[in-house]
Chains A and B, each alone.
Chain A
Amino acid sequence: MNRKLRIANWVLGELALCLVLALATLTLMTGCKATLEPGGAYAPVVTNLDGTITPSARANIEFYAVDSGFALAVAMMDTADTFEKNNRLFLWKLSPEIKRGLDRVRPKASEVVRRYALARKAYEENPVPANLGVMQTLLEEMKSLAAAGAAALPTTN
């Protein structure tokens, strides 16, 4: 492999590695041990007339975990897409498959975000496990798409 391809592959390989490592963290969600500070968005409280504070709903670590994971997966997908778009001509010369690979993922990712938004709205209106399950399923889909986006970038040889 000549010098220009070695350098370009190194640059892209480093980016792909960062994305894959970030994705790997999403698979570790079952090890959750943290708790939520009362008063945050996922652990709402009310202040009583006598000044005491009581929870207005149960602290919802599962909701936090799925939202946080989803935000990370979306950020990963956006990083890969932004990198490709900002360097399109260079990457196109390297391999047209980079853009084409991401183009296969882009519409699916947009659709998953839209479905997640609707599922999240439904869960906030009716916070039952079944509705959270829909969000978790969509998080898995978003993780797969983010992985596919990262895989579209060349890896270091």
Chain B
Amino acid sequence: MSKNSTKTFGIDAKTLGLILQGIKAAIAAAPGVVEVVVRAKEFIASLFSAGVISKEQQDRVHGHVDEICRAAIRGEEFPRWVVEADPE
């Protein structure tokens, strides 16, 4: 490490930049992770409760899977599932 490099709270600028990128990445991931966790919670609750799966929940699952399946039959792919060229 160069003696002339600028430091903030004892962290050099390059490392600080990477830390900030990591935080940004975590924030970007949050909505997707929350969605998965909510779905998982609903899924467990519906399968292991002795209760009743409501009409609304049934319709929501059915509609969502319908949408995925119709798009797949039309030949559409999830935009983020398409393989792209490597960076650089």
Contact of B81 among A18, A42, A100, A109 (CB under 8 A): A109
9 residue pairs A–B, Cβ–Cβ below 8 Å: A11-B22, A34-B50, A41-B55, A71-B61, A78-B81, A99-B86, A106-B81, A110-B77, A118-B73
Q: Which residues of B contact A (CB under 8 A)?
A: 11, 15, 18-19, 21-26, 28-29, 32-33, 35-37, 39-40, 43-44, 46-59, 61-65, 68-70, 72-73, 77-78, 80-83, 86-88
Chain A residue nearest to B18 in the complex (CB): A4
What's the minimum C-beta distance from A75 to chain B, rounded to whole angstroms? Answer: 5
Contact of B26 among A2, A11, A40 (CB under 8 A): A11
Contact A64 B22 (CB under 8 A): no
Contact B48 A33 (CB under 8 A): yes
Interface set, chain A 51-80, CB cutoff 8 A to B: 64-65, 67-72, 74-79
Contact of A8 among B18, B61, B68, B81 (CB under 8 A): B18
A19 part of interface (Cβ distance < 8 Å): yes
Chain B residue nearest to A92 in the complex (CB): B87
4 extra interface residue pairs, beta carbon distance < 8 Å, beyond A2-B15, A75-B35, A76-B36: A3-B19, A19-B36, A81-B78, A110-B81
Contact of A114 among B21, B53, B73 (CB under 8 A): B73
Q: How far is the CA of A117 from the CA of B58 in the complex (A)?
A: 18
Contact of B78 among A40, A83, A110 (CB under 8 A): A110
Interface set, chain A 7-44, CB cutoff 8 A to B: 7-8, 11-12, 14-15, 18-19, 21-22, 25-26, 28-29, 31-43
